[in-house]
A and B are shown apart, each in its own frame.
Chain A
Amino acid sequence: MEIGVALALCGAAVAVFMACMGSAYGIFVAADAASGVLSEDPEKFGKMLILAALPGTQGIYGLLAGIYIMNKIQLFGDVLAVSTPVGWQLLFAALPIAFVGLVSGIAQGKTCVGSIFLVAKKPDELGKGIILPAMVETYAVFALLASILMVNAIKI
């Protein structure tokens, strides 16, 4: 039985849902801390908004990887007849961004909480507060790159 398409979709799904879970949790912890800061000083809303939104990148990367896979198997037109081994390949190719998206999203969220406390005490240091969580994001970028390179190279 050819389950290639199912496996490919599984890959796309896993990339999307795991990375988005990471972002959702990351933004939750960051926004939680931001509300605490705003209860003391509502003037800082803009800065808090930016810092709380930073962990959102992983979800976007996961979505991108998912879309790339969906595009590869031409899901939105006539779905290609994907053989089972190729389906497995696509599933494995999705794993880097899936796992790294999940873990780095959570990690970046926690780093953003630290930045939020930094900016709460020293509002002029927003730049430094942004750079630190952005370093966590680098690894999500590498994972996305790995996933995309793999998907790109797979021959249906």
Chain B
Amino acid sequence: MGAELEKVRIVAIHDTLDAVIRRIAFMNDFELITDESTSTSGDSYCETMISETRDLLKKIEPIQSYIDEHAKDPRGFIEGFLDPRKSISYDVLKQRAQLFPIHEVLETFTETHQLVTSLEHSHTTLQEQIVTLEKWKHFPIQHYDDVFDFEHFRLLVVSVPQKISHEFQKELLKEQYLLFDDFHHDKHSVYFCILLEKQSTFLERISHAIPFTYRDIPHWEGDVSVYLSTLYQRLMSLTKKLGYHCKKLRSYTTHKKEVQSLHDYLKIQETELIVSQYAQKTEYTTALSGWIPRHRYAQLQTLLKKVAKEIILEKVRVAKEEKLPVYIENKPQWRPFEIITYIYGAPNPKEFDPTLFLAPFFIVFFGMCLSDAGYGLSLIVLSWYLIKRYDLPPGGLKLMRLFIYGGVATIIVGIITGGYFALDQSILPSFLLRLKILDPINDPITMLIISLILGITQILFGTIISFFENIHKKRYADAYLDSMVWFLFLSSIVVYIVGSFLHVVWIVAVFSKVILVGALVLILTQGRHKKNVIMKFFSGLISLYKLSGYLGDVLSYSRLLALGMTSAVVGMIVNLIAGMVKGFPIVGVVLTAVIFVFGHLLNLIVSVMGAFIHTTRLQLVEFFGKFFEGGGKFFKPFQFSLKYHKIE
């Protein structure tokens, strides 16, 4: 049921508190109690220090994010899934952080950064200007502002889609005293027109027939092409300047280690201050409360003695209504199955740890869903490789071990069903064929019945567990009148079905009576929580409806057959396609091998995912639903949450 937890209190002198907090974090087995009600009211010193630390963290953010972006460590595909933090000792971290002249570096960095930003902005604006002016290169009127000065004339620029520019020209030609020409072509033709004031309405008139758009004239000085070339020159010198300063900025990435260490060091400071806020303080001492597994108490004592002699560690009595956190601890070989328990949530402190109960079922079901000896072997090899080659986090390690267990079960099921990379029967050696007892493809009904039988087994087992849970929680009425009654009722139905299937007459006769008695008992007992007799009776009657729930649960286990079949069939299709290309000249064999490997790899990945998800679902929905109450809180050891480092 997990480790017994001890509630403890640590009393330390103020200036040793930081060291104590670091030791607790290093231990990784101490849960800090941060209940607001135990803290003393607003420690102004703490608060100012916290806001100072947070201000500094904010100040270093620009250089930190610049370095994050431009000095990334190259990471392989698989490394992308792993924890990127580097191990470091606290003293090295502190030294790096404290020796770094952050304020000077920050000053010059901010200067350069701002310069680069404004240069980049000017660069972009200039580029946009050039792009616009390029279109006006052939505009024939220089010093056009002079033209605007005329009283009776106006200068307009319009653009017309290329297709109708001919029509547009024809319309313009109809007008007298109208000067026009086109000076730019791409998708549109752009025309300038010089016309008399009183002719302005002419364009409005033809706008119905011909869709044109007015264009604004951009600003330049003097001759367009001359102006453009000065712009180009300006752009060149700006680009050179920008390159130079960008290089300068990039040199700041050499400070990566120091900046990242500073960030994490400040984070540690911040956490220490926040924790001391939760602590109870007197004039000279601070007290911290927390939970620790009983077998680690001695270790904590030694650890604290190393910090200072005067630190007191004492056990605290737990109040009756107090909610303990739940510390799940199993023998190493069962730990991989804790993944499933963690997904569902913590059992409440009075319940059993369900990890051991689900383990055998999980393995068998996983094997049945994957059901190919070749895949099982590949899974074991891949998981083993990942464990050896990469530094996996504890969760990842558990998952790989789970896959190894699953792989073994898969090999066994694969041998029984004759699946070896879904290869055809004729290729297999005869001793393997003799081991093949079941054939899911050609005889799915047998596999279906086996899946359902396994389902019934797990559900009945769940009922038994609920019986023992109720006894453990001293709910004797519930144990006998709910768990035991349902267990007997369901078992008798199972016996009856088996009996009628095997045509054993006496079982059919006897158990049909047993079932009727069972139903009667249910009607009488299931409504016992209701107030009056009529409600009791009806509740009991309605409780028989739960039978359909159990039926649904049993049928849910048919997915074991379905998943096993689909992975086998997809494998067969991969082999079929690989066989088809064998005839190609020269590349045929290579192509076959490629299709075989990648096809089965893909099928392996998809089938493993499906096997994991559906097997887990069967445990959590159909199995846990029978006995698991939950509502507990997992033990959460106190840890610093750093971005770049792990303290060792």
Contacts and interface: CB of A to CB of B under 8 A. Distances in A.
B645 interface: no
B558 A50 contact: no
Contact of A131 (B442, B563, B565, B625): B625
B551 A141 contact: yes
A123 B558 contact: no
B630 A142 contact: no
Given A54-B621, A76-B441, A127-B624, A142 B548 contact: yes
5 contacts: A46-B339, A124-B346, A126-B620, A141-B548, A141-B552
Interface stretch (B95-103, B376-384, B609-617): B609-617
A109 to B, nearest CB: 15
A64 B448 contact: yes
B26 to A, nearest CB: 23
B556 A57 contact: yes
Given A76-B441, A127-B630, A134-B621, A50 B562 contact: no
Nearest to B616: A50
Interface residues of B, number: 37
Contacts of B445: 68, 71
B630 A53 contact: no
Interface of B: 339, 342-346, 441-442, 444-445, 448, 548-549, 551-552, 555-556, 558-559, 561-563, 565-566, 613-614, 616-617, 620-621, 624-625, 628-631, 633
B614 A77 contact: no
Contacts of A61: 555, 558
Interface string A41-56: 0000011011001101
A64 B554 CA distance: 14
Contacts of B566: 63
B555 A144 contact: yes
Given A50-B613, A67-B444, A124-B633, 15 more contacts: A47-B345, A50-B343, A57-B559, A60-B559, A64-B558, A123-B345, A126-B344, A127-B345, A131-B625, A134-B625, A137-B552, A137-B556, A138-B552, A141-B548, A144-B555
A127 B343 CA distance: 11
B342 A46 contact: yes
B343 A124 contact: no
Nearest to B632: A124
Contacts of A126: 344-345, 620, 630
Contacts of B620: 50, 126, 130
Main secondary structure of the interface of A (DSSP, over half): helix
Which of under 10, 10 to 19, 20 to 34, or 35 or more describes the interface residues of A?
20 to 34
B442 A50 contact: no
Interface in A111-142: 123-124, 126-127, 130-131, 134, 137-138, 141-142
A146 interface: no
Interface of A: 46-47, 49-50, 53-54, 56-57, 60-61, 63-64, 67-68, 71, 76-77, 123-124, 126-127, 130-131, 134, 137-138, 141-142, 144-145
Contact of A130 (B551, B613, B625): B625
A53 B617 contact: yes
B556 A127 contact: no
Given A50-B617, A137-B552, A127 B558 contact: no
Contacts of A67: 444, 565
Contact of A138 (B549, B617, B624): B549
Given A64-B448, A131-B625, A138 B345 contact: no
Given A64-B561, A144-B555, A145-B551, A127 B628 contact: yes
B441 to A, nearest CB: 7
A55 B632 CA distance: 27
Contacts of A131: 625
A119 B624 CA distance: 17
Contacts of B344: 47, 126-127
A140 B613 CA distance: 20
B636 to A, nearest CB: 12
A138 B547 CA distance: 11
A63 B617 CA distance: 19
Contact of A56 (B442, B548, B614, B624): B614
Nearest to A67: B444
Contacts of A50: 343, 613, 616-617, 620-621
B352 to A, nearest CB: 16
B442 A141 contact: no
A126 to B, nearest CB: 5
Interface centre among A47, A141, A144 (most CB of B within 10 A): A141
